[in-house]
Amino acid sequence: MKDDYTLLILAAGMGSRFGGLKQIEPFGPNGEFIIDYSIYDAIEAGFTKVVFLIKEENYKTFRNTIGKRIESKIKTEYCFQSNDNIPEEYKVPEDRKKPLGTAHAILCCKEKINEPFAMINADDFYGKDAYKKAMEFLQEEHKENTYGLVGYLIKNTISENGSVKRGMCKVENGYLKYIVESSVIKENNHIIATPVDGSHSFEVEEKAINCMNMLLFNQTIFKKLEEEFPKFLNNKDNLESGEFMIPDILEKCIEDNYAKVEVIETNAKWYGVTYKEDTEIVKTAIKKLIINKDYKEHLWN
Say what the pLDDT of residue 14 is: 39
Residue 269: closest CA among 191, 194, 157, 134: 157
Below-50 pLDDT ranges, the chain:
1, 14-20, 23
Domains of the chain listed by start with CATH number = 6-153+208-291 (3.90.550.10)
CA pair distance 263, 230, nearest whole angstrom: 28
Concatenate the DSSP letters of all residues of 251-267 into one string. HHHHHTTS-EEEEEEE-
Strand 117-121 to 175-187 pairing? unpaired
Give pLDDT tens digits for 223-247.
999 999 999 999 988 999 999 999 9
Say what the pLDDT of residue 218 is: 94
Residues 6+ apart with CB under 8 A from 211: 149, 151, 152, 166, 167, 169, 179, 247
The alpha-helical segments, DSSP class H, found in 215-245 are 220-233, 236-240
